[in-house]
Structure 1
């Protein structure tokens, strides 16, 4: 049923571990690009949202900010880069399909996360010292909320978030048309940002930016906003994002596809060889 998509995802997983084995610095740069692309989208979101605070347009701020974030995953997928949250599904499928190993999953998750962090910190620091935000009020408010949620709240919201993000990635493997891919990316990211769910890589930029702005603007942030709070948020959100990609998406579709191959009691087996077009 989903054999073609799972095979393509498995190939993508194998390609990543091959690059890590051949030239780790190149892979880290590729992952750093993903962190930077997500960070650039974060800057856009706050650049659009900050001027709307305290104005008659403020009720529309959430929609505007959520709608703008679609550029993040659009850049990651169309331009090409390695995003940890997408790899949560991709490497899981690769291991389940036997095209990579579970050890390879751990390596790719680790190095893509580190590369994403580097790209995110770079964008956050450049924005702070570049004077992109003279008014850090909205950034501080969002960062404070993220740093003060309970562990259970963070985990569940991270699961919801990456369920939607990886749905966009999954759809990109099922679709051939670039416009169709971009539409699905936009809808899935609108759902996650509009509801305020937690994305580990986006938070790397948001929370580091809040910390950097305290230095560059001299405006104190709420007491909860600090580097410890950032580490607290991202550590739990990373776990929730990984769980969603591996279990809610990759594992679920793999299990469905494997189950479709099982022989039926009447002796007629499902072949599992239908293409995407046959599903429509």
Structure 2
């Protein structure tokens, strides 16, 4: 698909045309390694689980990020978004949900269904340390029975790892005005002396807060929610190819990892299309696009 095909404000008719192509890609079976059934790799690494759900092993601490653990097709598509006739998640977990419980803490960047679902709430131990973006989300999670809920701020410490909350916006101003429940959202920076600084941007488009986080933290690795999710007639609520290129230019020293792809109905950017775009624009060598169940070194 050409970069012109990733336009802002797609019409319903145009969106469904794009959706048909993406649905065909998603329907193709792929080989997925049973990553957690084997010994986890040594060193700082990220496991792409599914959608925005990732496990980050960093400085000896294991973080589960934004767990969406439901079975394939458990939820209806998001109303008013691209391909809303498809049920979420579009694909199965690459590992049993039980295999993801052996972590030290969970980070929930926001409580939208595709980042913190009922299946995760049932599966996770109630005493699991959980970091939330603000007091409102923390109270929501406490109300679901969790007893060790902490609020991310500019400087948290967990087992020797520094966690810093970053800002973002889940769409442009006109989208947020029309659908205010999209915000707030957050990202997080993981750092420790002797280890690369990792910035997980979360559900955001490119904006001053993302630019500021890059300037402030100078991350070595940036994890981007790159599915280019679309609201019909309004536009994208996640980064697409052009904004990923913008991040690459803003952080020439950083390696990029693309996540939040090919797993929920409104994400129209496929891994294959992003790879082609990155190759054409000359930054493919610094971009990883892991498949579900794949470990990536940080």
TM-score normalised by length of structure 1: 0.25
Which one has a larger percent helix, Structure 1 or Structure 2? 1
Structure 1 or 2: larger strand share? 2
Larger radius of gyration: 1
Q: TM-score, normalised by structure 2?
A: 0.24
**Structure possessing the higher relative contact order (Cα contacts under 8 Å, 6 or more residues apart):** 1
